[in-house]
Amino acid sequence: MKIYQTSDIRNIALVGGAKSGKTTLAEAMAFCGGLINRRGSVDNKNTISDYRDIELDRKYSVETTLMYTEYGGKKVNILDVPGFADYQGELVSALNVVEAAVVVVNAQSGVEVGTEVANRYAAKLDSPMMFVINHLDAEKANFDDSVNQLKDFFGGKCTVLQFPVNQGLGFNQVVDIVANKLLTFKDGKMEMSDIPAEHADRAEEMRMALVEEAASADDALMEKYFENGDLTAEELTKALKLAIDKRDLFPILCTSAKENMGVARLLEFIGQNVPAPDEVAEAKKTKGGKELKCNNANPTVAFAFKSAKDKNLGEITYLRLFDGELAEAQDVVNSCNQSKERVSQVLVCSGKDRQRVEKACAGDIVCTIKLKDVKINQTLTTPKNTDDVVNEIEFPTPVYTVAVKAANSNDDEKVGAALKDLCNSDRSLTLENSRELRQVILGCQGELHLNTIKWYFDNQYKLEVNFTAPNIPYRETITKSAEAMYRHKKQSGGSGQFGEVHMLVEPYYDGMPNQTKYPIRDTQEYPLEWGGKLVFNNCIVGGSIDARFMPAILKGIMEKMEQGPLTGSYARDIVVNIYDGKMHPVDSNETAFKIAGRTAFREAFKQAAPKIKEPIYDIAVTVPTESQGGVMTDLQGRRAIVMGMDAEGKYTTLRAKAPLAEMNRYCTALSSLTSGRGTFTMTFSSYELVPTDVQQSLLKAYEEAANEEE
Ligand SMILES: Nc1nc2c(ncn2[C@@H]2O[C@H](COP(=O)(O)OP(=O)(O)OP(=O)(O)O)[C@@H](O)[C@H]2O)c(=O)[nH]1
Ligand SMILES: [Mg+2]
């Protein structure tokens, strides 16, 4: 296997709408490079890229595949990214390690959700971007509509470099503005000829506009353009490359991936116009701000952006070399935790096939196996440059959460291990073992993502697992003062138990005055782990309860605070005044006072107009302006209060406060209200009292559950 020099490497990610043809295009690219002599198809389940069991089953991509092709002496590393928005974790990681995003657009549908999501991340990461209008052979292909939509959504930087002459059935020709030729595709070959008269004027007009736009990327070229009124082909290529790298221009090219038309020319274009790893205007930086120049002479900086488990090989770690070379048998250091690792093999990937190479040059993307413990987002360096830590990929936070439980408790451990595995290779998943909710909570990117997890449990791990809505972390509190007492008395055989506690409970709020009915001798304020406070006042006079029993009483109260009297949720914001009690000279002990404290507290709590509080979240929902009405109505149905809205371009962001209890599966509802185009974020705001009817139904549900348990 050949070793490619940095200047001959191009790294691209194929991104964009679901089913726009990325995997088919990747296959055609491999074919054009002579890596395969027959093109597979997604429908025939024999592509290089969609090789995983789940992908063969579903006939769409689920994970990013690393593959490569060679064209014009350049190695093009291709990351074929799944298009469904639920897999955007894969999209983000891919865009973090390539020099350009190639956004594939289905000419029959124009700009889709996936096109927008890809654009959003490319913009955020400042990644150069080009569009490929695919499916041009399809009957309903509409190039002009697609271009208009691209310009409408992503602005005037979208620039046509090729247009089809005969789109739809029988498609086989495009006019190429940069080459200034007509391209005809026949039997897998491309012929170039002069642009026919009927298209010449349009082509020339577009070429001149392109020349002017591209020239503006560089002062020297602009001067040449002013002098000569044109640029040579060489100058135009240079100008284009600069403009693309600076995100001043987003080229639009044409293909039919299925018929392998335009693909070779696209590869040639990538080779000429996407910067090599050491040519980028903005080099990747380490956390310390050092620029990584992709120079073989520098020490190794290899960044793990993906990991996967293989049945036979174990963990496969995918690495992007941001600096220096990586060689077989090289000793490296995981600069995130200083642990030593050895790279036993450097492997070049072509989907599931891997080939060993002696070494890879700076800028290349490879994989390795058998590392001890290297996770996504960690950096491998030489022992000399362990300060070089590459900035982490910011994975999307979950928008959909479910509680996960093994159907059979014997499988608890296996399910736990499987979940950990899944979260290790997919960082857009999160896992939390919630003590409060007594549930394991899995966070993911939506219904389809969850469905994928279910598939793995059914087919790969073969474990039966239940997925349910997460419990809501309610809180309990009181709204008026009340008094109660409890005497715990037990006589069994020899020694007995005796403790009597009288207390006054009050609702706590910041800055409240002390009650004056019982003089306070000592006061303790406890901020609670779960939010809010407990104030514990000792108002005992005349030694009716010994000070040494006070901690036991407090402990009893805390136990009840942890499992509130109404629904077993945490209680908060309460003042307890212990003002009287009784002891027995022999039978009083800590246990007795703990029980008395706990029970008296429960009784007082129940008489103090107890209320349930629920978590309220600040919600920001961004939706296409035309679906704003429906989204608003839906939010109101969820007891949300709309706080305001801002319009930006085609989108409106609604800001609202909504109870968490009403937001279960919101991402699914929003998706159907906005045809998948809406996005939202949620952050905790406060705890507020629930409406009376909600409280009634919660109490009833708790009672029923308690009865069932009995
Ligand atoms: N007619 C036509 N069909 C195409 C073309 N490209 C892809 N297809 C078909 O479109 C469907 C989806 O193609 P894929 O290559 O799986 O699309 P994708 O973008 O990889 O899909 P995801 O990975 O799920 O986002 C398949 O049935 C392909 O055969 C094309 O240029 N023309
Ligand atoms: Mg695909």
**Domain-by-domain residue ranges, the chain?**
6-204+248-273, 284-385, 400-468, 476-608, 612-693
Sheet of 439-444: strand order equals 430-434, 439-444, 400-406, 465-468
Q: Is 14 in the pocket of ligand 1 (CB under 6 A)?
A: no
Beta bridge partners of 450: none
pLDDT of residue 502: 98
Is the fold of 284-385 the same as that of 476-608? no
* Residue with CA closest to ligand 1 atom 27: 43
**515-528 pLDDT per residue, tens:** 999 999 999 999 99
Ligand 1 neighbour 241 (Cβ under 6 A): no
- How does pLDDT run across 24-35, given as a tens digit for each residue? 999 999 999 999
> For residue 340, how many other CB atoms are within 10 A of its CB?
10
Does the pLDDT of residue 492 top 90, yes or no?
no
Instruction: Indicate the top mutation candidate among 14, 15, 23, 171 to test ligand 1's pocket, ranked by most ligand atoms within 8 A of CB.
Output: 23
82 lines ligand 1 (CB under 6 A): yes
CB 662: neighbour CB atoms within 10 A? 16
What confidence tens digit (pLDDT) does each residue in 255-291 have? 999 999 999 999 999 999 999 999 998 899 999 999 9
Q: Which ligand sits nearest to residue 137's alpha carbon?
A: 1
Residue 214 has pLDDT above 80, yes or no: yes
Distance 191 CA to ligand 2 centre (A): 29
**Distance separating alpha carbons of residues 658 and 644, to the nearest angstrom:** 13
pLDDT-based confidence at residue 535 (cuts at 50, 70, 90): very high
Class of domain 612-693: alpha beta
Domain 6-204+248-273 has CATH 3.40.50.300: yes
pLDDT digits (tens, 9 = 90+) for 228-252: 988 988 899 889 999 999 999 999 9
Lateral strand order in the sheet of 74-80? 65-71, 74-80, 9-16, 100-106, 129-134, 250-254, 158-160
Topology of the domain comprising 284-385: Elongation Factor Tu (Ef-tu); domain 3 (2.40.30)
CA of 42 to the centre of ligand 1 (A): 7
pLDDT level of residue 403 (50, 70, 90 thresholds): very high
* H/E element, 449: helix 447-455
For residue 256, which atom of ligand 1 is closest to its CA? Answer: 31
Cβ(147) to ligand 1 under 6 A?
A: no
Ligand 1 close to Cβ of residue 65 (< 6 A): no
475: Cβ–Cβ under 8 A, 6 or more apart, which residues? 530, 531, 532, 564, 569, 570, 571, 572, 612, 613, 614, 687
CATH of 476-608, one of 3.40.50.2020, 3.30.230.10, 3.40.50.2000, 3.40.50.300: 3.30.230.10
CATH topology for the 400-468 domain:
Alpha-Beta Plaits (3.30.70)
